Structure 1
Amino acid sequence: MSEKQPPKTGPNIPVPPHPNLRRQPLPECHPKAATEDLSAPERIRVLTESPGYRQADQDIDYLNLDETRGVRLQIDYQKPEFLLEQHRISHTIVVFGSTRISEPAAARQKVETLRTELAASPNDETIARQLRIAERVLAKTQYYEIAREFGQKVGKAGKSLRDGELVIMTGGGPGIMEAANRGAFDVQSKSIGLNITLPHEQYPNPYITPNLCFRFHYFALRKLHFLLRTRALVVFPGGYGTLDELFETLTLAQTRKIQPIPVILVGEQYWRRVFDVDFLVDEGVIDEEDRDLFWYAETADDIWDGIVQWHQSNGSDLFAD
């Protein structure tokens, strides 16, 4: 069977060339032959393997230089923004809290293990102290259940909208963040996790929606994405990282760098000891009105109802575009 002939386009119009291939390769498509210069192949190898020859956007060493920090900042922001827009995520509710407050079964197992160790070494003060801390963590696992229930509430509300426009967003780690993502997962709703690259290896929790789990290089860009779409900040008991995000948000709202949003501290007894706002007012370092930048809640219903009521009082629609 003869080969199929290309269609004729007219007496004076050439057949369109192939978009990628040539019948005759260009001269630069062949390296200089060793028959012409014995040293040529080795010299070409050195050239093509040298750092300067790497394509800039594929040169990791170059992209990690201080001089290219601006490029890294741009793409650290742009990649999550691109994917969030693709998923049509308009609004989020951000949940922070300790990575150490695990689900009750895991915390209970740790307590039992330490009790066994202490029984074998009753005079070991290190184990005794670890046990006391583990017992306090176990007592706080109620917050894991509350965060999970709250994640379910947000997930159900988001599913009532087109394309899930209200979704849970967390730091993507274990503990309270896992619980909130897990609640959304329970009701087959999308949720977001914003991880951060650290010197030690870490893993996202398994309940985040694929393609909505991001890993940032810069804390600053991660913080920006926490607040760009948020309609409320829900803060469970936590440590340095939780306090960092809480106080930064309160400062931005206090100075009106951002419009105030609902900020809910879950567990009044814990937060009144960690953060004595009345002391700050009495000392004159914040104003009376700054007390109103947040409030306390104890249950998932309290949190959700408070957020809805705040937006109604503010004249804003929690579910608006």
Structure 2
Amino acid sequence: MTNKDLHDHRFHHAKQEAEFAEKAAVSTAQTRDPAYRLAFQDTEFLLREELRPVRFQLELLKPEMLLDEANIGSTLVMYGSARIPEPDKADALIEAAPDEESRRIAVRLKEKAKYYDEARNLARLASACGISSDGKRDFVVCSGGGPSIMEAANRGAADVGKESIGLNIVLPHEQAPNEYVTPSLSFQFHYFALRKMHFLLRARAVAVFPGGFGTLDEFLELVTLVQTGKMEPLPILLFGKDFWNRVVNFDALADEGTISRKDLELFQFVETADEAWDVIQKFYELDCG
């Protein structure tokens, strides 16, 4: 008996079984009925309400397995608005505003357009550094895969010829991954909760740019996980001190006693990509120039 005999599977793989079933299929009343389909190939069955726990598991496993196969060891996660324009397109947004209120908002968005460039620059810095350990790639840029700040993150990695991850989400309105996400690292999620989990499973630093409800949700869940000890401390970098202090009164939370004053040290404000990358390098004792 050879080693091959000892170690080979005794059962056919699911893919083989599916091929056997397809080849052996004879069209009868029994084989045409959905009940006869292999359960793992029966989409209608998998979409049943009772199968939600199975769909949770699949959505947890698929990205985890593919990222592991792609040798992604750790990530630099970048959160931010889907509405902040690229600087070159900011004036067009103002010109297209249909009324005074829309114009006022477009002007405010233009003021934040600089963060598109900062997100792109930070992604360049992290990606160009090319850190690896134990055969795995570290600080691989990971965004939500959408437009604006997310696009800037993936674009920065592409600028220096490096791969980046996009974790997209199915929404009622039409949307798609930005063109800079590496196709084999572009994932689509049904469940927000599992998408947020995948953001943080490999995260070793998180950059949070100005954003709306989604960005706030992602940032506050992250800082809560670190505050409560469910997650080890890591660099959490908030770009735009004026913006964040305007939309969230962090000091008031401490003054009211609902958080500790020390909790304000869980994150720090930065304004530029260079400043943020310097914080990350010092935290991990890196030397990437």
Correspondence for 1:19: none
CA positional deviation for 1:149: 0.6
Instruction: Mark the runs of 5 or more structure 2 residues left unpaired by the alignment.
Output: 1-23
Match of 1:178 among 118, 137, 151: 151
Between the aligned partners of 1:30 and 1:139, the Cα distance in structure 2 is 63
CA positional deviation for 1:201: 2.4
CA positional deviation for 1:205: 0.5
Q: How does 1:1-321 map to 2 (within 5 A)?
A: 44=28, 46-114=29-97, 127-158=99-130, 164-312=137-285
Percent of aligned pairs with the same amino acid: 48
Bigger radius of gyration among the two:
1
User: What secondary structure sits across from 1:188 in the alignment?
Assistant: coil
CA positional deviation for 1:148: 0.5
CA positional deviation for 1:177: 0.6
User: What secondary structure sits across from 1:93 in the alignment?
Assistant: strand
Q: Deviations over 1:103-156 (max 9, x none)?
A: 122222121233xx6xxxxxxxxx111011111111111000110011100110
Between the aligned partners of 1:153 and 1:30, the Cα distance in structure 2 is 55
Q: Deviations over 1:22-77 (max 9, x none)?
A: xxxxxxx696xxxxxxxxx8xx2x33232212221111111011211121111111
Between the aligned partners of 2:275 and 2:131, the Cα distance in structure 1 is 21
Between the aligned partners of 2:85 and 2:25, the Cα distance in structure 1 is 61
CA positional deviation for 1:157: 1.2
TM-score normalised by the chain length of structure 1: 0.78
Correspondence for 1:16: none
Between the aligned partners of 2:183 and 2:136, the Cα distance in structure 1 is 15
Between the aligned partners of 1:285 and 1:51, the Cα distance in structure 2 is 55
CA positional deviation for 1:100: 0.2
Between the aligned partners of 2:209 and 2:161, the Cα distance in structure 1 is 23
User: What secondary structure sits across from 2:137 in the alignment?
Assistant: coil
CA positional deviation for 1:310: 2.6
CA positional deviation for 1:221: 1.3
Instruction: Mark the runs of 5 or more structure 1 residues left unpaired by the alignment.
Output: 1-28, 32-40, 118-126
Cα RMSD, aligned residues only: 1.9
Q: Deviations over 1:253-298 (max 9, x none)?
A: 0000011111110000001111111100000000011011000000
Q: Which amino acid aligns with 2:105?
A: I
Relative to structure 1, the CA distance from residue 230 to residue 304 in structure 2 (aligned partners, 3 Å threshold; closer, same or farther) is: same
CA positional deviation for 1:202: 1.3
CA positional deviation for 1:204: 0.3
Between the aligned partners of 2:151 and 2:229, the Cα distance in structure 1 is 31
Between the aligned partners of 1:215 and 1:96, the Cα distance in structure 2 is 16
Between the aligned partners of 1:154 and 1:275, the Cα distance in structure 2 is 28
CA positional deviation for 1:160: 7.0
Relative to structure 1, the CA distance from residue 200 to residue 289 in structure 2 (aligned partners, 3 Å threshold; closer, same or farther) is: same
Corresponding pairs, count = 264
